[in-house]
Amino acid sequence: MDVAFISECNTFYNILSKSINAKYSSLNFYYYDSPEQFANQLQPAFSHIIIKITNFEKYDVMINKIIKSHPQTKFIGLVINNHLKLSEKLLGQFTHVFIDAEIEDKLNLMFHDAIDQNEVLPIDGLKIEQNKRKYLYLKPEYSRCLYLVYQHKTAIEIATLMNKSKRTIEKYIIALKEIFEVKRKQDLVEVCGAIIKN
C-alpha cells in the first residue's frame, strides 16, 4: 500500500513513518517536504495521503488542488499544538484530522483497519474492533477526554487539563457513553483499556 507523507519537517516524518512501518511493513511511504513538491512530481496511485497541517496559508490552495486531483484517496491531516489555520471548508475535505498526542495511535488504528479488513474475529474481538473504529472517528476533544477518563481523572481534573468547564466535560462523558454504548464511567475506562491493549 503506497502512502504519501507531506511535511516540512523531515524528523517528524521519519519518527512517525518508522513507528507505523514497524507494525505494517506492507506500507510504502513516500516523503514530500511541501505540497508543491508533491504536485510537481510524478507519483504512484496513493491509497492515503498524510499532510502535516502548517500555518502556511499559501499551502491551502495547493492542498485543495491535491485533494481534488485524487478523488479516490483518503486524506489525513495532522495538527501539532492546535495550530489549525485551514479553512473549515478545506478541513471538511479530509477523511480524518488527528491532533497532537492522538496522532500515532489513530494512524496505527487507521492502517490496522485498512490492512486487516478481511480478518475473521471472535465476538469479543469484533466488539473491540468496533470500538476501535468508533475511537478513530471521535472528535479530538472526545479522544482527549476519553484518555483522561482512562487515567481515572475526575471531571474537575479533566476540565482543568482541557481548559473547559466541568459541565462541558460531563456532557463529553455522557456523549462518550452513548458512542460506546455503555452505562458507567468505569465501562469507558475498560473500553479505552481494551483499545490500547489491542
What are the Cα distances from residue 29, in Å, to 1, 79, 128, 138? 9, 19, 28, 26
Q: Do the Cβ atoms of 33 and 51 come closer than 8 Å? A: no
Flag whether pLDDT at 183 surpasses 70. Answer: yes
Q: Are residues 110 and 129 in the same domain?
A: no
Local confidence band at 5 (pLDDT 50, 70, 90 cut-offs)? very high
Which of 88, 115, 142 is the last residue before a domain boundary? 115
Which domain does 158 fall in, by range? 123-197
What are the Cα distances from residue 112, in Å, to 29, 63, 108? 16, 26, 6
Q: Are residues 172 and 101 in the same domain?
A: no
Kindly tell me the sign of the dihedral angle through the C-alpha atoms of 64, 67, 70, 72: negative
Q: Are residues 109 and 132 in the same domain?
A: no
Torsion of CA 99, 110, 108, 189, to 10 degrees: 70
Q: What is the pTM of this model?
A: 0.65
The predicted structure's pLDDT at residue 171: 94
Cell representation of residue 153: 481523572
Structure confidence by residue, pLDDT tens digits, 7-17: 888 888 888 88
Q: Are residues 111 and 128 in the same domain?
A: no
Question: Radius of gyration of the chain from Cα atoms?
Answer: 18
Local confidence band at 198 (pLDDT 50, 70, 90 cut-offs)? low
Q: Do the Cβ atoms of 19 and 104 come closer than 8 Å? A: yes
Local confidence band at 168 (pLDDT 50, 70, 90 cut-offs)? very high
Structure confidence by residue, pLDDT tens digits, 28-83: 999 998 888 898 887 778 989 998 887 666 677 788 888 888 888 999 988 876 65
Number of compact structural domains in the chain: 2
Bridge partners for 98 per DSSP:
78
Q: Are residues 8 and 71 in the same domain?
A: yes
Q: Do the Cβ atoms of 30 and 2 come closer than 8 Å? A: yes
Structure confidence by residue, pLDDT tens digits, 103-140: 888 888 788 777 765 443 333 445 667 777 788 778 88
Residue 161: burial class (beta carbons within 10 Å; 0-12, 13-18, 19+)? middle
> Domain containing 6 — which CATH number?
3.40.50.2300
Q: Are residues 140 and 71 in the same domain?
A: no
Which of 85, 115, 145 is the last residue before a domain boundary? 115
The predicted structure's pLDDT at residue 102: 79
Q: Do the Cβ atoms of 70 and 46 come closer than 8 Å? A: yes
Which of 115, 148, 183 is the last residue before a domain boundary? 115
- Calculate mean pLDDT across residues 137-147: 85
Torsion of CA 169, 92, 196, 129, to 10 degrees: 110
Beta strands 96-99 and 48-52: pairing type?
Answer: unpaired
